[in-house]
Structure 1
Amino acid sequence: MTKLMLGIDIGTTSTKAVLYNQTGNVLQQAAQEYPLYTPNINVAEQDPEEIYQAVITVIRQITNQHNDLMFVSFSSAMHSLIAIDDKDEAITPCIIWADNRSKAWATDILQHHDGLNLYQRTGTPIHPMSPLCKISWLRHEQPDIFLKADKFIGIKEFVFKRFFNQYVVDHSIASATGLMNLKNLDWDQQALTVAGIEKDNLSTLVPTTAVFTQLKQQVANQLNLDCNTPFIIGASDGVLSNLGVDAIGSGDIAVTIGTSGAVRTTLTEPRTDSAGRTFCYALTEHHWVVGGPVNNGGVVLQWIKDQLCTSEVAEAKRTATDPYDLIMQLAESVAPGSNGLIFHPFLTGERAPSWNPDVRGSYFGLTLAHKRAHLIRAALEGVILNLFTVYQALTEMMETKATMIRATGGFARSPLWRQMLADIFAVEVTVPESHESSCLGACILGLYALGEITSLEESSAFFGHSHHHQPDEKAKQVYQQLAPIYSSITADLKTNYQRIADFQAANE
């Protein structure tokens, strides 16, 4: 029997496919991007058909060379919502996590439907990202669509319906909808009542280890695969990233920064926060990932490049170098702490720990002594300081003290950012060799689903570490002084965040 494993990650900006052998070595990769439609600040949509075709494309790119697979296993972005009519046709685009149109209904749920209790039942913070809030928005503001909808599904469900003609959703994706009860692993009646739907309007719940065969013949032909190839439904990208960087042990922390970011740890049972600051999502029935996502990760670096570094972009184009390398060199020319300049990176509102879509970005402490390099370094530090506030909430819930941070995502390629992470968190940082942690996590889960490994803890055999960073004592002391100032500013500006957000909305 072949020992090749294919992990698929249906992400926000692209779908990736990574082919591994059974020891976790990468044999081949493929990726297909698709557009994000953002006609205004509150809308974030994608075409589910474009995403589906991307899935077909990347799988086919792999199977054109390797089609004798042990299995295909899936990772997917969370919180997407597609309304489907009774003819199984999509009647909305794929509304992704970044869509903010349900903000008013998130507030309504918090204030009038015991939102904290609902969060503690479902593990999903009450926020416009969640399908619970999106469905409430459709119900009240798009009633024609809501009444025509027969099902409300996510993007992975859209793909599996095409593949196997079933509406199924794994416990992991379901636990990020705000609609599944953490304790009984069933749709939560209180949440259904708030959304105004019934169980029949949602997909059938299955474990993340559920195995599907009997791929539709037409799809099998497109994918160049045998119909009986096992497909593992898998889990969400966040929890699989923990598995894919070997952060499933007590005291292990995973930090991911791509376009957005997250801080996560793994517990043996579901646990929620009394203040509602963190999420709790399923990996398996005995592995629960607790943490917090942030909107503002690599998108801040992109903003720096576009708005502050036009000369570096021009120089990079002239010399055929990477503009981000030049930007990092500028940041490295400034000492830790940016001479007292603090950047709050809330360019797209924020999720954890405040769960406030109205927060806005700002520089604090700006003086005539600050140069462009200070602005750049402070912005990079602001991303990590923001993640540190999530980490502080998370440590209150952990069973043991954090002993290791395993870093992944595009930022993990930057030595400067990795060292900032070690200095601000004051914990050793390691970076696994594989950057595509969600695809690897999906394959490890696939091995477990098929009985090739007996526990997820065996995943440590798949990893080496390409980089290690110890906290620098001097830098650590600087950040320990700045971090409380960073947090108190966020709290002090809470009222004015709403005022400026209202002003911006009224003057678009």
Structure 2
Amino acid sequence: MSQPALIGVDLGSTNIKAVAFGLGGEQLAQATTPTITHVPRPGWAEYGAEEVWTAVCSVLRQLLANLPANAVPAAVTCSSMAEAGVALDAHGQPLYPFISWFDQRTIPQAEQWARHIGEETTAKITGLGVRPVYGIFRLLWLRDNAPDLFRRTRRWLNMADYGAFRLCGATATDYSLASRMLLLDLARKEWSATLLEANGLDGSVLGELVPSGTQVGRVSSQAAAETGLPAGLPVCSGGHDHVCGAFGLGLTQVGDTFDSMGTAESLMMTTAAPQLDGSVTRRQIGQGVHVAPNRYYAMSGVQMSGGAVDWVRRLLLGAALGDAATPEGYEQLMQLAGEAPPGSGGVFFVPHLRRANPPHVNPHARGAFVGITGDSSRSHLARAVLEGVAYEYQLVLENMAEAVGVQPSKLVATGGGTRNGVWMGIKTAVSGLPITIPAVDEAVCLGAAMLAGVGSGVYASFADAAAQVQFASRTIQCDPTLHQFYRQQYEQIYKTLYGALRETNELIRKGIVGRGV
């Protein structure tokens, strides 16, 4: 007997992948290929539009070749990184590569926006602060630096939108990706006439706004020939990768919190409505539209989470293991950390290796070990880093909860860090909340596939999709005694460290102290 296969395609900054799922969320097949990133000059990062499409075609062909014989494609949806966009001419041809979300060339455009429009006005419309990362600054950079190409631009599409465009010809944008353009009126869910006018932009260049999980077309005969997908297959709108991942894991109720643990750590909390008085943005928290109906989200994070753990691994074990990040190296680090007592013998670590994290606004903050003595060992340092990252995570989580007035009701974590029992035990003890770790390897693609099922009618509704998709998980419970200990350490000591170190760090930055002779 045949079974429908729902296909989610994720266009990420590291990999482009396609995964097929059954209606219950079971993975049927997968294919992946590295994303080709071009760095034409320092601080820049681009993706060729044709190279992206070639990669999509490649993974879809591999996926279809790996599908079980009884699996029949039922619908497809694309998700992607946010902010990266591409300009298309009147014939749908790309005029310039995708400019990545981490490309730094857009700083002048963001600075001009901040002077001309201002943080407060922007926040009250979009729920976001003025940061160079947002999609609009890539379009404005094109206007300022390639005016001939800008004049020929008829559509600006996010990466997932471009995937759908190549599949079926639609030029639509879902609300979750539109939220990261810095042009969406979050309350009205429409492109902001105020912000468009302030920048002299014609709104027709932007994609038609649609909810995630909307059928926007069907696979064309040309796309069918290139991808192997059947012509006429429903193509549905997807969304921002983080938000699709949260949806795939069932995080659609107010207070549900998604913790994506990587080099950086992203925290996303589901909310019922945005707060647009500027108070949330002043706390360095972004807001946007969820892919689930009638839901929004608040998003924040820790700049160096897994990155700090990798840094201390190299610091303490690099000579023995080399610089390569291996499972054995992390196991040795966790074993080392497990040998130290809770509190790390009085050693604290502030993980500001790139900048301070919310609620603090300081790109010049520095990391620090505090409390080292002659008795401090490698084990103390290893555990102090895990504790410091957990304290910082708690600081960010509390800041977000206070800003939106919602307490986390459920914490679900994914990523490589979830495999480290010592680290996860410390995190639950610091927060006082259990953390659920789902047995789902491809949550983003699962969320995209579920949206394909909703949009094509394979699922009767969003609720039906959530009810049918099931997966195993494990929950790490909080140790009450350890929580009491860590809470005292956090409140009485850790929360004072940023303020205590701020002036010293500023002196170091200015070169008054530590300048070489």
Which category describes the TM-score, using the shorter chain as reference length? 0.7 to 0.9
Note closer, same or farther for the CA distance 1:224–1:120 as it changes in structure 2 (3 Å cut). same
Match of 1:442 in 2: 448
Note closer, same or farther for the CA distance 1:30–1:65 as it changes in structure 2 (3 Å cut). closer
Match of 2:191 in 1: 187
Match of 1:241 in 2: 245
What pairs up with 1:345-360 in 2 under 5 angstroms?
345-349=351-355, 352-354=358-360, 357-360=363-366
2: CA distance between counterparts of 1:381 and 1:32?
35
CA contact (8 A) 1:64 1:224 kept: no
What pairs up with 1:449-464 in 2 under 5 angstroms?
449-451=455-457, 452-456=459-463, 459=466, 461-464=468-471
From 247, 254, 279, the counterpart of 1:274: 279
Percentage identity across paired residues of the two chains: 26
2: CA distance between counterparts of 1:487 and 1:315?
32
Q: Which amino acid aligns with 1:186?
A: E
Larger Rg computed on CA atoms: 2
Q: Aligned to 1:43, what secondary structure does the other structure show?
A: coil
Match of 1:222 in 2: 226
Q: Aligned to 1:166, what secondary structure does the other structure show?
A: coil
CA contact (8 A) 1:250 1:399 kept: no
Q: Which amino acid aligns with 1:208?
A: S
CA contact (8 A) 1:71 1:446 kept: yes
Q: Which amino acid aligns with 1:325?
A: E
Match of 2:17 in 1: 16
2: CA distance between counterparts of 1:499 and 1:113?
33
Q: How many residues align?
A: 502
Could you state the TM-score of these two structures normalised by the residue count of structure 1? 0.86
Q: Which amino acid aligns with 2:74?
A: M
Match status 1:471 vs 2:472: no
Note closer, same or farther for the CA distance 1:161–1:278 as it changes in structure 2 (3 Å cut). same
Summarize deviations over 1:213-263 as a string: whole Å, max 9, x none: 332323212221111111222111121222222222233222111233211
Quote how far apart the aligned CAs of 1:499 are: 8.0
Could you state the TM-score of these two structures normalised by the residue count of structure 2? 0.85
CA contact (8 A) 2:16 2:34 kept: yes
Quote how far apart the aligned CAs of 1:183 are: 1.8
Q: Which runs of 5+ in 2 are unaligned?
A: none
Match of 2:379 in 1: 373
Match status 1:388 vs 2:394: yes
Match of 1:173 in 2: 177
Note closer, same or farther for the CA distance 1:305–1:8 as it changes in structure 2 (3 Å cut). farther
Match of 2:125 in 1: 121
1: CA distance between counterparts of 2:104 and 2:65?
40
Match status 1:291 vs 2:299: yes
Q: Aligned to 2:177, what secondary structure does the other structure show?
A: helix
Match status 1:301 vs 2:319: no
Note closer, same or farther for the CA distance 1:5–1:161 as it changes in structure 2 (3 Å cut). closer
Q: Which amino acid aligns with 2:66?
A: Q
Match of 1:158 in 2: 162
2: CA distance between counterparts of 1:440 and 1:344?
35
Quote how far apart the aligned CAs of 1:61 are: 1.3
Match of 2:210 in 1: 206
2: CA distance between counterparts of 1:169 and 1:343?
42
Note closer, same or farther for the CA distance 1:496–1:2 as it changes in structure 2 (3 Å cut). farther
Q: Aligned to 1:259, what secondary structure does the other structure show?
A: coil
Match of 1:410 in 2: 416
CA contact (8 A) 2:271 2:296 kept: yes
1: CA distance between counterparts of 2:316 and 2:56?
36
Match of 1:33 in 2: 34
2: CA distance between counterparts of 1:348 and 1:124?
21
CA contact (8 A) 2:252 2:292 kept: no
Match status 1:57 vs 2:58: yes
Match of 2:437 in 1: 431
2: CA distance between counterparts of 1:111 and 1:493?
31
Match status 1:99 vs 2:103: yes
1: CA distance between counterparts of 2:302 and 2:37?
19
Note closer, same or farther for the CA distance 1:386–1:191 as it changes in structure 2 (3 Å cut). farther
Match of 1:4 in 2: 5
Q: Which runs of 5+ in 1 are unaligned?
A: none
Cα RMSD, aligned residues only: 3.3
Note closer, same or farther for the CA distance 1:164–1:468 as it changes in structure 2 (3 Å cut). same
Summarize deviations over 1:437-462 as a string: whole Å, max 9, x none: 11222222333323414334761553
Note closer, same or farther for the CA distance 1:446–1:21 as it changes in structure 2 (3 Å cut). same
Q: Which amino acid aligns with 1:76?
A: S
CA contact (8 A) 2:6 2:450 kept: no
